[in-house]
Amino acid sequence: MEAGTTLRVLFTLPHTKTHIPIFISNRTSKPKTAFTLSSPSTSSYSSTVHSFRTPNPKRDFLPDWVSQNDDVVRPLPIYVGAASLFAVLFNRTISGIAPVADAGSSQSRADLLTLGLAVTNILAGLVWLSIKPKSISVVNPQGVECKKLCTALPDVALTELVWAWESLSDVTCCRSLVIVYESNCVLQFGFAAESSPGNGEAVSVDTDKLMQGSVYQGVMKSGTQSYLANLSLYPGKSELPFLPSNTQAVILQPLGDKGIAIIGGDTIRGFTSSDQAWITYIGEKLDSTLSKYVKQHQTLT
C-alpha cells in the first residue's frame, strides 16, 4: 500500500508558449524485493503516463529522393552524356571549324576533352543500369505482441520508458524494444518470440544469459552503439531468442555502463544514420533517469 501526495506544476519556457508539466511527489512505499515485469492495460497507466514531445530525427532529402526515383536516376548519366556529345558536334558544325581535330587549336583540345567526359558519362550510365540492387521490403514480425513494464519503478520512470517506445516505433522501423538495466529487464515492448507455438505467451528475457553473451559483452566493452544491419548474417542472433525469428535489423544501444537497449527492426538496413544518432541521445536520457530511480529502489530491497 502506498501513501503520499503529488503536486503538479506547469513550467513555461521563456519566449515560448510551451507548458511542461512537472510532477513533484512525496511518496512512501513498502520495500520491493525484486524487479518484475507486468503487462498493464492501457487504462492502468494512461492517467499517469504523459507524452514527451521531442523533435523527429532529421531526414536527408537527397538520398531519400534518389531512392524513391531510382528508375529516373540510373539512366540520367546516359542522357547527360548524349546531350553533351550532341552539343559538341553541333557547335563544331555551325562554328565553321574544320572537322579534323588540330592539336594546335585550343578549340579542338576543348572539344576533345568534352567528348571524353561525355563518353565517360555514357559508360557510367550503362554501368548503373547493369547493376540491379536487391529489393528490400518490410516484413511482418513473426511473434506475439508484448507489453511488459517493471512494476517497481515510479511513474516518472515508467513515463519515460513508454515515451521511448512510442517515439521509436512511430518514427523508425523499430518493432521490438527491450531495456535491461542493473541486471533487470525493465521493459519489453512490441513483438516478441512466442514461447511455444499457439500458447500466445512471449519469451521472457533471461538477463543473466544475455549479459554473459558475447553480444552484450562486446557492446558494454566498447561503450558505443552497435548496429547489426542484417541480423541474419550475424551468429550473435542466437543470443537474442526473445526477438521475433524474422527480425531484420538490431541496434544495441548501451545505457551508460549499467544497461542496454535492444531495438529490433522490420527492415534490413532500415535504421538511417539520423536514426542511429537519435537513438544514442535517447539512450543517454534513459540512462540518466534509470540510474537515479533504479538505484533508489534497489536500496529498498
Range scoring the smallest mean pLDDT among 24-33, 39-48, 130-139, 266-275: 24-33
Domain ranges of the chain: 69-131, 144-299
Number of residues assigned to the chain:
301
Question: How high is the pLDDT of residue 37?
Answer: 61
The CATH number of the domain covering residues in 144-299: 3.30.450.40
Question: How high is the pLDDT of residue 267?
Answer: 93
pLDDT at residue 201 above 80? yes
Q: Give per-residue pLDDT as tens, 18-66.
A: 444 444 444 444 343 344 566 555 444 444 444 455 555 566 677 777 7
Q: Coil, strand, or helix at residue 261?
A: strand
Provide the percentage of residues in the chain whose pLDDT is more than 90.
44
Task: Name the pairing type of β-strands 249-255 and 259-265.
Answer: antiparallel
Q: Is 157 exposed, middle or buried (0-12, 13-18, 19+ CB in 10 A)?
A: buried
Range scoring the smallest mean pLDDT among 33-47, 188-202, 228-242: 33-47
Q: Give per-residue pLDDT as tens, 153-174.
A: 899 999 999 999 999 999 999 9
